[in-house]
Amino acid sequence: MENIIWRDEIIKKIIDSWLEKGAEYVECRVEAREATSIRIIDGKVKTLSSGILAGMGIRVLINGQFLFISYSADELSKRFVEDNIAKSYWMEKVELAPVEPAVAKVKVMPKVPFNDLSNEDKAKLALRENERCKGEYIKTVSTLYCDEILEKRIITSEGTDVYMQIPYVYIGHSVTAVVNGKRNESRMRQGGIGGLELLSEEKLVEIAEMGKERAVKGALAKAVKPGRYRVLLDGDLNHLFAHEAVGHASEADSVKVGSLLKGKLGKKIASKIVDLVDDGRFEINGVKGFGWIPYDDEGVKTGRTLIIEAGILRNYLNDRATAKFFGLKPTGNARAQDFQNPPVVRMRNTFIAPSREAQPLSNEELLELQKNGLLLKAGRGGQVDPIRGTFTFGVQEAYIVENGEIKERLGSTSISGNFLAVLKSIVAIGMEFDEPGYSLGFCGKAMQSVPVGVSGVWLLVENLTVGG
């Protein structure tokens, strides 16, 4: 996308001007986002927006403190801006862990570009899929279609110069069924990083049918009796637990202010079969996790971070400042919603991985090992306290398991507990990753939202609180 903000001479001038003022470090993050969003409710287009948001975020380390300023492309096109204290704010005093400067260019090319479709055709697609979700007992259907091409360049005074182009696309449904006065809502998404090849006819039919079935069967089903159960969690709940309950507590900025994982590095906090990872480059069967980023917003190369290894807490998730504070290496977890926000420590694709300490099991083998209990599938939001370690998550599907076989469908429910207790109660881990295209999410923190994923393998957990 052609604009003055991409010009090397402009970026160099900004960096040099701050270095002349005594800055120790300067970071320019140039972004352009071309996006479309369409909301359909019960066969009617409620909102359709499309456009480009472009600008630059500038972070300067001067006198041991970070200064952050952001400008839209229009502002920078009108004049060269040096200081604008009204648009800046100061952060706490920091030092940065050293990194090797990165120079890279990464472009993800969709197989079927969504920009080949007009907005009218995209709206027709969303309307068609909204209609597909209708049926007996279905009261209302809300459908959201979104696509975005993100272009980003990160240039620092240390020599980092990273360019990324990443396309995102997904469609999601919220389907509400009413049966004999009982309401039940199901939520489904499909998409990821790529193009319309991720929204194949087969996948679109599948999520529409699953959404209807989940909503209606949940409304017809009897409630789960609250209690403690031997539980199988599916890949989506694996991710939800790993991300919300454990992941946020392992973000180093949360650790600094007293999360439950503070002071526990090198200590056993989970069953020895547990490896919990946050992977910036997760990919399976050619599908990238929704939190896939090759470089973070400090220009640090990402990779696979083992938070927990064989039950031992091995790492926190760090940006360069928290890495220096804790004496650790940066993990590539500095992320910002857009150029208008400074990067903070955020997750990418977070899940409990197939065990290296015990033989991973197929889903069928896990059911045989479980013998009796509950199978829970598909998470739906919740609450977490990283200081106390408590959590409560919604669950969309529940099934009775008897003698290793899936039996009666039960209604939607919840799981709750203390995440350290649950980590120690994991007795077996699967090997079959659930479909990553269904497990798309956005994580909110510091009033910013970023895409995260991914699904995971099934987990067998003892004595988990369900319902109540």
Quick: pLDDT tens for 115-170: 999 999 999 999 999 999 999 999 999 999 999 999 999 999 999 999 999 999 99
Give the bridge partners for 36, in sequence order: 50, 147
Q: How far apart are CA 316 and CA 263, in angstroms?
A: 11
Q: How far apart are CA 5 and CA 29, in angstroms?
A: 10
- Residue 224 CA, distance from chain mean position: 29
The angle that helices 201-220 and 119-132 make with each other, rounded to 10 degrees, is 40
Cis peptide before 454 (omega within 30 of 0): yes
3-class DSSP assignment, residue 319: coil
Q: How far apart are CA 233 and CA 429, in angstroms?
A: 10
pLDDT of amino acid 86: 37
Q: How far apart are CA 427 and CA 421, in angstroms?
A: 12
Give the single-character DSSP code of 386: T
Which tokens belong to 125? Answer: 């697609």
H/E stretch holding 410 reads strand 405-410
Q: What is the pLDDT of residues 293-308, one digit of tens each?
A: 999 999 999 999 999 9
Cite the residue boundaries of each domain of the chain with CATH code 3.30.2290.10.
Answer: 4-218
Classify residue 447 as exposed, middle or buried by CB count within 10 Å of its CB (0-12, 13-18, 19+).
Answer: exposed
Classify residue 408 as exposed, middle or buried by CB count within 10 Å of its CB (0-12, 13-18, 19+).
Answer: exposed
pLDDT of amino acid 2: 54
Q: Beta strands 373-385 and 227-233: pairing type?
A: parallel
How confident is the prediction along the chain (468 residues), in pLDDT tens digits per residue?
A: 456 567 898 899 999 999 999 999 999 999 999 999 999 999 999 999 999 999 999 999 999 999 999 988 887 766 555 544 434 555 678 999 999 999 999 999 999 999 999 999 999 999 999 999 999 999 999 999 999 999 999 999 999 999 999 999 999 999 999 999 999 999 999 999 999 999 999 999 999 999 999 999 999 999 999 999 999 999 999 999 999 999 999 999 999 999 999 999 999 999 999 999 999 999 998 899 999 999 999 999 999 999 999 999 999 999 999 999 999 999 999 999 999 999 999 999 999 999 999 998 999 999 999 999 999 999 988 889 999 999 999 999 999 999 999 999 999 999 999 999 999 999 999 999 988 888 899 999 999 999 999 889 999 999 999 997
Q: How far apart are CA 184 and CA 176, in angstroms?
A: 6
pLDDT of amino acid 4: 57
Q: What are phi and psi of 192, to 5 degrees?
A: 145, -150
Give the single-character DSSP code of 243: I
Strands (E), 273-327: 275-279, 283-284, 287-288, 304-309, 312-313
Task: Count the alpha carbons within 13 Å of 49 in the hemisphere toward its beta carbon.
Answer: 9
List helix spans (H) across 91-228.
119-132, 201-220
pLDDT of amino acid 138: 98
b/e burial code for range 30-47 (CB count within 10 A of at least 16 → b): bbbbbebbbbbeeeeeee
Rg (CA), the chain: 23
pLDDT of amino acid 77: 63
Q: Which CATH superfamily is domain 4-218 in?
A: PmbA/TldD superfamily (3.30.2290.10)
Any idea how long the chain is? 468
Q: What are phi and psi of 146, to 5 degrees?
A: -140, 140
Q: How far apart are CA 172 and CA 129, in angstroms?
A: 9
